[in-house]
């Protein structure tokens, strides 16, 4: 029998390979722990308890505050194979959200209008992908998707029917003035300017056909038209009108271009050192800081204020002022003696939460597991 030899190895460099192997083993053990949690294995006392409610204890995917999450094994695998990053909400803004939503009843008011089915989420994902193609950073793409959902429910072909029928006030009546599309583009002067910048009046594009009688847009049928800059010619493309069309009939890619040109045209808010577009194009990895006025935060404020109040300074206190102004306006419009129980919502919080939910879907988290449990706790 050969004599056993003891060999001593001296490592001249850090043992990176060993660290990697240990990391993979740790991941495997954590996944196994998540799988065992199906049977109620509690990480605290290690006792096996059968329960009628499934709860995962996941140490790989953490919550915004670095605690264990409740992602299932399938959701964990999806998260590691994702093609887009997560939507990062800074911890101080999570505190702000929790201050605004302090009860299940309050949360339910927000959730009542949020996406819940695959068809709606697919529309949001399509918009997100178009925004990424337009070179927006991931954070900005999610935030703008949140804004668009609150405005049009991710239906880029939305338009204000009451205004289009002539019921609008202050220049919002008729096809030329009514709110249209992805971000509720209103007023003929603004529409005319964007049409010119994209040269839509000099080239034909395919738009969806509109039926004036049924007031229904046929997304299965397109018409090749120009979008005119003459107000009297601005009317929907129909089976009988195959020359000109309206912006609400345009497809998602055109609306992303329209929004980008619109945002690029916005000046600086009072006291800002950058334009809204420049703030949105901040491409560094979000650090999850608590500085309410760093560039990570200003990107998020800009994604809200570009439509709600671009003149406001892109800082936390200014954003809050804009939020409160809109809350009071909505309470005056929709509340009062006729609706005393009406309570307005926080538009910034609304937008942030929808952006977060969409980010989970974009990263292939199953719809039953898409929720706000990691953000809002009671």
Question: pLDDT tens-digit profile of 249-307?
Answer: 999 999 999 999 999 999 899 999 999 999 999 999 887 889 999 999 999 999 999 98
Are residues 284 and 372 part of one domain?
yes
Are residues 274 and 129 part of one domain?
yes
Among candidate residues 183, 218, 250, the one where a domain is terminated: 250
- Is the predicted pLDDT of residue 341 greater than 90, yes or no? no
Are residues 103 and 61 part of one domain?
no
User: What is the Cα–Cα distance from 185 to 194, expressed in whole angstroms?
Assistant: 10
Residue 326: which domain range?
A: 86-155+267-378
In a domain, 1, yes or no: no
User: What is the Cα–Cα distance from 233 to 294, expressed in whole angstroms?
Assistant: 46
Among candidate residues 199, 225, 250, the one where a domain is terminated: 250
Q: 261, exposed or middle or buried, with CB in 10 Å at 0-12, 13-18, 19+?
A: middle
Q: 73, exposed or middle or buried, with CB in 10 Å at 0-12, 13-18, 19+?
A: middle
User: What is the Cα–Cα distance from 120 to 220, expressed in whole angstroms?
Assistant: 18
- Is the predicted pLDDT of residue 207 greater than 60, yes or no? yes
Report CA-CA distances (Å) from 342 to 100, 103, 109, 150, 322.
Answer: 16, 16, 11, 18, 20
231 falls in which pLDDT band (50, 70, 90)? very high
339 falls in which pLDDT band (50, 70, 90)? confident
Are residues 367 and 276 part of one domain?
yes
Among 219, 215, 216, residue whose Cα is nearest residue 250 = 219
User: What is the Cα–Cα distance from 326 to 269, expressed in whole angstroms?
Assistant: 18
- Is the predicted pLDDT of residue 348 greater than 50, yes or no? yes
211 falls in which pLDDT band (50, 70, 90)? very high
In a domain, 255, yes or no: no
Are residues 368 and 281 part of one domain?
yes
Backbone φ and ψ for 303, nearest 5 degrees, come out as: -65, -20
Mean pLDDT along residues 34-62? 46
Are residues 220 and 195 part of one domain?
yes
In a domain, 129, yes or no: yes
In a domain, 167, yes or no: yes
Q: Give the pLDDT score at 36.
A: 47
Q: Whole-model pTM?
A: 0.77
* 346 secondary structure, DSSP code: -
Give the total number of structural domains in the chain: 3
Are residues 151 and 272 part of one domain?
yes
48 or 175: which leads in pLDDT: 175
Among 310, 175, 197, 330, residue whose Cα is nearest residue 254 = 197
Tell me the residue ranges of DSSP E strands in 163-215.
205-211
Tell me the residue ranges of DSSP E strands in 101-254.
205-211, 216-225
Among candidate residues 28, 50, 80, the one where a domain is terminated: 80
Are residues 364 and 293 part of one domain?
yes
% pLDDT > 70, the chain = 78
Are residues 144 and 47 part of one domain?
no
Give the model confidence (pLDDT) of 315-331 as tens digits.
Answer: 999 999 999 999 988 88
């Amino acid at each position: 029998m050969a004599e056993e030899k003891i060999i001593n190895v001296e490592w001249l460099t850090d043992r990176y390979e060993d660290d990697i192997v240990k990391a993979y083993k740790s991941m495997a053990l954590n996944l196994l722990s998540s799988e065992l949690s199906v049977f109620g294995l509690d990480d605290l006392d290690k006792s096996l308890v059968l329960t009628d409610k499934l709860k995962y204890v996941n140490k790989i995917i953490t919550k915004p505050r670095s605690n264990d999450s409740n992602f299932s094994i399938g959701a964990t695998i999806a998260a590691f194979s994702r093609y887009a990053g997560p939507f990062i909400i800074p911890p101080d803004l999570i505190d702000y959200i929790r201050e605004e939503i302090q009860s299940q009843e309050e949360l339910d008011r927000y959730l009542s209008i949020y996406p819940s089915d695959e068809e709606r989420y697919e529309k949001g994902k399509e918009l997100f992908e178009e925004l990424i193609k337009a070179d927006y950073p991931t954070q900005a793409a999610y935030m703008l998707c949140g804004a668009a959902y609150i405005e049009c429910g991710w239906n880029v072909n939305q338009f204000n029917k009451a205004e289009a029928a002539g019921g609008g006030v202050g220049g919002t009546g008729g096809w030329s003035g009514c709110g249209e599309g992805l971000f509720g583009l209103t007023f003929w002067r603004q529409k005319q300017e964007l049409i010119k910048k994209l040269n839509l009046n000099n080239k034909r594009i395919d738009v969806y056909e509109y039926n004036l009688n049924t007031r229904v847009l046929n997304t299965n049928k397109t018409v090749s038209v120009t979008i005119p800059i003459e107000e009297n010619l601005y009317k929907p493309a129909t089976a009988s009108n195959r020359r000109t069309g309206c912006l609400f009939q345009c497809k998602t890619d055109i609306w992303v271009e329209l929004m980008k040109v619109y945002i690029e045209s916005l000046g600086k808010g009072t006291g800002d050192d950058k334009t809204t577009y420049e703030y949105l194009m901040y491409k560094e990895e979000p650090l999850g800081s608590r500085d309410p006025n760093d560039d990570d935060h200003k990107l998020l404020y800009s994604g809200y204020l570009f439509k709600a109040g671009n003149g406001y300074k892109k800082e936390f206190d200014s954003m809050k002022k804009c939020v409160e102004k809109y809350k009071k306006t909505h309470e005056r419009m929709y509340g009062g003696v006729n609706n005393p129980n009406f309570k307005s919502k926080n538009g910034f919080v609304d937008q942030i939460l929808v952006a977060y939910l969409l980010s989970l879907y974009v990263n292939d988290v199953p719809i039953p597991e898409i929720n706000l449990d990691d953000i809002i706790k009671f």
